[in-house]
């Protein structure tokens, strides 16, 4: 394994940090996953990441050609998160990229995790062989990436293609988004949104098989529980809220088609574990309401096959592509 060309990808999420060593053809040769540091100073958290990265490098036996870091929010590739860190407290404006460069003396570049999902799909997933695509990660929030005419673009504000979760789906909604708007996609059709909608119904006394569980521990009513213990038992409340949630997600994808004209829409994230319960209705909704030429031609909506690894894969492929284009 020594002296083999490889790239390092790091995906720092709110729950876990994932590291991966990948060859130029996107094959994993080493991996590491550990819990995201919590309740510690950001400097200590980054130091812990540096040490775990050093351990992976020692395991591989050589330095990578470059390192890609996947982070949440608007990301300056040469610095790190610059706005709305969200899941990682204290990371905003923290110079994580310079620290990695100083420690390992190799090229390092950071990018938004939604954008990286598209890098992963383009080079190792469902966007291979197409020039126009949208990727959507549906979980606690909504992440997105966009491929236009074969290019994954970066804009001066570090936000291009990553903001589908912040599009306003229903301005009359009372759910406040961290952007300051109400009724955004994250508030309407994330996995969290479905959980909150079902909990609201339970609180208002709508009969459900989940009622007892809710009043024992409201937070136990999450997306997984709603699907497995509610939808699969044909609970009226859960089925009704899933139908409404699917419709809202459908409108988001209609907007994505009208904005970016993708050849394919790729879905990933925790919500896709329940895809069999809503994907047929979602496809029907989107292809009914999109306006495109030729009339009647639908847009394929598919589930990612690399969902568990998109962040790491995308980060590694991003730094690989950057170094190749810099030659």
Residue-wise pLDDT for 48-65, tens only, equals 999 999 999 999 999 999
Report whether the peptide linkage leading into residue 302 is cis, meaning its omega lies within 30 degrees of zero.
Answer: no
Portion of the chain with pLDDT greater than 70, in percent: 98
Whether domain 129-304 has CATH 3.30.420.40: the reply is yes
Q: How many residues does the chain have?
A: 327
Token pair for 292: 């495109």
Q: Name the one residue in this structure whose structure tokens are 């709508």.
A: 206
From CA 274, how far away is CA 252, in angstroms rounded?
A: 18
- In the chain, what are the domain boundaries? 7-118+308-326, 129-304
Residue-wise pLDDT for 267-307, tens only, equals 999 899 999 999 999 999 999 999 998 888 899 999 999 98
Residue-wise pLDDT for 220-235, tens only, equals 999 999 999 999 999 9
> What stretches of 140-277 show up as alpha helix (H) in DSSP?
185-189, 191-203, 211-216, 223-225, 236-260
From CA 21, how far away is CA 72, in angstroms rounded?
A: 21
pTM value is 0.92
Token pair for 267: 């879905």
7-118+308-326 maps to which CATH number? 3.30.420.40
Fold match between 7-118+308-326 and 129-304? yes
Q: Who contacts 217 (Cβ-Cβ below 8 Å, separation ≥6)?
A: none
Of 264, 261, 325, the residue nearest 300 (C-alpha) = 264
Residue 1: pLDDT band with limits 50, 70, 90: very low
2, pLDDT greater than 60: no
| Mean of the per-residue pLDDT values of the chain | 94
pLDDT at 29: 96
């Amino acid at each position: 394994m020594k002296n083999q060309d490889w790239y390092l990808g790091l995906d720092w999420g709110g729950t876990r940090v994932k590291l991966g060593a990948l060859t130029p053809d996107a094959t994993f040769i080493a991996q590491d996953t550990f819990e995201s540091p919590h309740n510690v100073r950001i400097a200590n958290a980054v130091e812990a990441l540096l040490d775990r990265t050093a351990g992976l490098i020692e395991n591989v036996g050589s330095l990578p050609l470059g390192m890609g870091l996947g982070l949440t929010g608007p990301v300056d590739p040469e610095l790190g998160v610059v706005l709305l860190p969200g899941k990682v407290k204290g990371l905003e404006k923290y110079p994580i990229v310079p620290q990695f460069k100083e420690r390992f003396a190799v090229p390092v570049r950071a990018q938004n995790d939604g954008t990286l999902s598209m890098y992963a799909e383009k080079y190792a997933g469902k966007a291979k062989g197409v020039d126009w695509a949208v990727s959507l990660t549906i979980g606690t929030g909504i992440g997105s990436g966009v491929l236009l005419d074969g290019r994954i673009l970066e804009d001066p504000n570090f936000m291009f293609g990553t903001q589908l979760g912040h599009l306003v789906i229903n301005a009359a909604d009372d759910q406040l988004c961290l952007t300051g708007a109400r009724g955004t996609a994250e508030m309407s059709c994330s996995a969290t949104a479905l959980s909150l909608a079902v909990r609201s119904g339970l609180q208002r006394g709508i009969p459900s098989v989940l009622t007892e569980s809710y009043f024992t521990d409201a937070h136990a009513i999450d997306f997984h529980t709603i699907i497995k213990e509610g939808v699969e038992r044909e609970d009226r409340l859960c089925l009704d809220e899933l139908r409404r949630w699917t419709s809202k997600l459908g409108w988001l994808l209609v907007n994505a088609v009208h904005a970016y004209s993708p050849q394919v829409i790729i879905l990933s994230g925790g919500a896709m574990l329940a895809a069999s319960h809503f994907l047929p209705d979602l496809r029907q909704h989107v292809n009914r309401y999109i306006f495109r030429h030729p009339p009647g031609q639908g847009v394929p909506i598919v589930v990612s096959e690399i969902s568990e690894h998109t962040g790491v894969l995308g980060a590694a492929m991003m730094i690989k592509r950057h170094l190749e284009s810099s030659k």
